[in-house]
Chain A
Amino acid sequence: MSDNLSDAGNIIEIENVHKRFGRVVALDGVSLTVKRGEVVVIIGPSGSGKSTLLRCINHLETVDSGRIVVDGIPLTDAKNIDLVRTETGMVFQLFNLFPHLTALENVMLAQRVVRKRSEDEAERVAHQQLEKVGIPEKADAYPAQLSGGQQQRVAIARALAMQPKIMLFDEPTSALDPEMIKEVLDVMLDLAREGMTMVVVSHEMGFVRAAAKRIFFMCEGHIVEETTPEGLSLATCKEERTRQFLRNILI
C-alpha cells in the first residue's frame, strides 16, 4: 500500500481529478494537497466545482478520472469506503441533522453503529462534544426546536464525536441568519487552533483571514489561483478572474 507519492506530511492528495455531470464539467483537472493540521479554504463563484471537490474527498461523489488519497488510502480502490469516511467528518450547508433524534442522539448514533461504542461511552463523548460547541443545555432538544446556528453546531459535534482526522465544511454558514454566523465560525476557529486539518468551502472573509493557511480560488472546474490570507486582495491577486470575484464579494 505504501506509495512513493504519499509524503508523510500530506493527509490529502488530489491529482488531476476530472468529474462531469452529464454535459456539465464540474472538475477539470484539479490537483491539490493538504498537509496534516493545515486549514485550507476554497473560494469561488457558484458552480465552480468547490462543493463537488469537497464531496469527492469524502467519496460522496466518485471521480471520473484522477486520484484522491486520504490518509494514505487511495479512494478509488479502497476496499472499505465506510472506514475511510470515518476519518473525515463532513459539515453540510443545510446541517442535515436527523430530525427524529434529539441533539444528543444525533451525536451518539454513528458512535454506536459505526464505532461500536457502548451506550455509556457514546453518551459521555456526546455530552463532551456538545459542551465543546457550546450548547450542552440543548442535549434533549430535537433539531426542529433549535435555531439554525445551534443545529449547525450540533452537526459539528456529531462529526467530531467520530474523532475524524480531517473536517470538511461545505458552506457551513450560508444558510444561517447573519447573527448566527459568528457562533458557528467561533467553533470552527477553535477547531483550527487545536490543529485540526480542515478543508472549508466558505466566503466568510473573517474566518478566512483568521484561520486559513492557504486559499484556493476555483472557477469553472479549475483551480485558478492559490494564495494566502495576506495575498487575498485586489492589489496582490495575479489572475483577473480572481480580482473580478473579489470585487464582487468585498463590496
Chain B
Amino acid sequence: MTTPSAHKDAKVDFTKKMAMVEDALPLWRRFDQWWLLFLAVVAITAILMIQKPDPYKRIAFFLWDGVRVTLGITVVSFVLILLLGLIGGLGRVSKNPLISGMASLYVEIIRGIPLLVQLMFIYYASPIILRGIGQRLVGIFPGIAAKLTTVQLNPFLAAVIGLTVCYGAYVTEIFRAGIEAIPKGQMEAARSLGMSYFQAMRFVILPQAVRIILPPVGNEFVALLKDSSLVSVVAVADMTRRGREFMSSTFMPLETWLMVALLYLVMTLFFSRIVAYTERKTSYVR
C-alpha cells in the first residue's frame, strides 16, 4: 500500500518496452534455439529412412496409420478436455457449495487413480455395469434395456472418454487457478456495471484468464499426446500399438522402438515450440 501509483508507472514503462521489443523482432528471431533440436530430430529420422529404407522406411509406413490415430485421439480428446476443464473450473470457483463440492470431488478422485487403470476400467469394467443396469430396466424401459444389455464399447470412444475424464480433472485445476488469478476488483467492476455473473465471466474474467492458462494448458496437450500411448492397451491401433504389431511380426525391437520414439519426439518437440511461441505472443503486463 506504500506507493501504488509509482509501482503502476514502472509497469507502464515495462509494457511499452516489451511492445517495442516484440515489434522490432524479425520473423526468424522468433524461432528460438530449440527449433534446432526439432530440426535435428527430423533430420535424423529422414536420414535413417533414406539411408536404410529397410527397415526404417518400412517401419515408418507401417506406423503411419498409428500416427493418424494418435493425433486424432489427442485432438478430439483435447477439445473435449478444454470443455470439461472450463465447466469444472467454473464449478470449482462457484459460490454454491454443492456445485463446488462436486467439482472438487471429481478432481480429487480422478487425480488419485492412474490413467492406465481408468482406461482399463472404462473399456473392460464399465460395459459390465451398463449391462447390469440394462437387466434391471428390462421390465421398465424395454427399448433402453435391450440396447444396454448388448452394449459394446468402441475402443476409440473408450479411449477418448478415458483421456477426457482424466485430463479434464487436471485442466479443471488449471482453469480454477487462472480464474482465481484475476483480481477480485474485475468481477466487482463488471457487476457494478450491471453485468450478470456469467456475463462478467464471459466478457471480463475468462478473456484475461485464458492468457494465464494458455501455457500450462499447452503443456497438458503435449503430455496428453504422450499419454495417449496408453490407449494401446484398450485395442486402439495407435502408434504404440502399431509398433508392437510390427515388432512381433518382424522381431526387430531396436529398429521399431527407435522409430516410434523418434516419431513421438518429432510431434512433441513441434507442439512444445508452438506452445512456447503462443506463450510469448499472448503474454502481457497488467
CB-CB under 8 A from B4, the residues of chain A are 94, 175
In the complex, A99 has a CB within 8 A of chain B: yes
Query: Which residue of A86, A99, A176 contacts B193 across the interface (Cβ within 8 Å)?
Result: A86
Contact A85:B204 (CB < 8 A) given known A98-B186, A145-B12: no
In the complex, A78 has a CB within 8 A of chain B: no
Q: Which A-chain residue is minimally distant from B1 (CB atoms)?
A: A175
Whether A177 pairs with B5 at a CB distance below 8 angstroms is yes
In the complex, A23 has a CB within 8 A of chain B: no
With both chains docked as a complex, state the minimum distance between the C-beta of B20 and any C-beta of chain A, in angstroms. Answer: 12
Query: Which residue of B5, B195, B199, B208 contacts A99 across the interface (Cβ within 8 Å)?
Result: B208
Q: What total of chain A residues lie within 8 Å of the partner, measured CB to CB? A: 35
Complex CA–CA separation, A58 to B192 (angstroms): 7
Query: Which residue of B8, B194, B196, B207 contacts A100 across the interface (Cβ within 8 Å)?
Result: B207
Segment from A4-12, A25-33, A63-71, A107-115 that makes contact with B: A107-115
10 A-B pairs besides A82-B196, A98-B189 with CB distance below 8 A are A58-B192, A60-B188, A92-B185, A94-B4, A96-B183, A96-B186, A100-B208, A144-B12, A148-B8, A177-B6
Return 13 A-B CB contacts under 8 Å, by A number: A60-B188, A82-B195, A82-B196, A90-B188, A92-B188, A96-B185, A110-B190, A113-B199, A114-B195, A142-B15, A147-B9, A159-B193, A175-B4
Contact A114:B193 (CB < 8 A) given known A60-B188, A96-B185, A145-B15: yes
A 159-182 contacts with B by CB, 8 A = 159, 162, 175-177, 180
Residues of B at under 8 Å CB distance from A? 4-6, 8-9, 11-12, 15-16, 183, 185-186, 188-196, 199, 203-204, 207-208, 211, 284-286
Contact A114:B199 (CB < 8 A) given known A158-B193, A162-B193: yes
Contact A82:B189 (CB < 8 A) given known A99-B208, A109-B203, A148-B8: no
Whether B286 pairs with A99 at a CB distance below 8 angstroms is yes
Number of A-B contacts (CB under 8 A): 86
Q: Which A-chain residue is minimally distant from B207 (CB atoms)?
A: A100
With both chains docked as a complex, state the minimum distance between the C-beta of B179 and any C-beta of chain A, in angstroms. Answer: 14
In the complex, A89 has a CB within 8 A of chain B: yes
In the complex, A83 has a CB within 8 A of chain B: yes
Q: Which A-chain residue is minimally distant from B200 (CB atoms)?
A: A113
CB-CB under 8 A from B203, the residues of chain A are 109, 113
Complex CA–CA separation, A175 to B7 (angstroms): 11
Q: 6 closest A-B pairs (Cβ-Cβ)?
A: A86-B194, A110-B193, A96-B189, A90-B192, A96-B185, A114-B194
Complex CA–CA separation, A158 to B204 (angstroms): 14
With both chains docked as a complex, state the minimum distance between the C-beta of A39 and any C-beta of chain B, in angstroms. Answer: 19
Q: Which B-chain residue is minimally distant from A161 (CB atoms)?
A: B193
Whether B15 pairs with A96 at a CB distance below 8 angstroms is no
Whether B195 pairs with A96 at a CB distance below 8 angstroms is no
Chain A 72-107 near chain B by CB (<8 Å), digits 1 or 0: 000000000011011011101010111110000000
Contact A89:B5 (CB < 8 A) given known A94-B185, A98-B186: no
Q: Which B-chain residue is minimally distant from A151 (CB atoms)?
A: B8
Q: Which A-chain residue is minimally distant from B193 (CB atoms)?
A: A110
With both chains docked as a complex, state the minimum distance between the C-beta of A167 and any C-beta of chain B, in angstroms. Answer: 11
Complex CA–CA separation, A180 to B285 (angstroms): 22
CB-CB under 8 A from A162, the residues of chain B are 193-194
CB-CB under 8 A from B15, the residues of chain A are 142, 144-145
Complex CA–CA separation, A114 to B196 (angstroms): 8
A 119-155 contacts with B by CB, 8 A = 142, 144-148, 155
Whether A85 pairs with B192 at a CB distance below 8 angstroms is yes
CB-CB under 8 A from A109, the residues of chain B are 193, 203-204
With both chains docked as a complex, state the minimum distance between the C-beta of A111 and any C-beta of chain B, in angstroms. Answer: 9
Chain A 23-66 near chain B by CB (<8 Å), digits 1 or 0: 00000000000000000000000000000000000101000000
Q: Which A-chain residue is minimally distant from B205 (CB atoms)?
A: A98
CB-CB under 8 A from B191, the residues of chain A are 60, 82, 85
Whether A89 pairs with B11 at a CB distance below 8 angstroms is no
CB-CB under 8 A from B183, the residues of chain A are 96
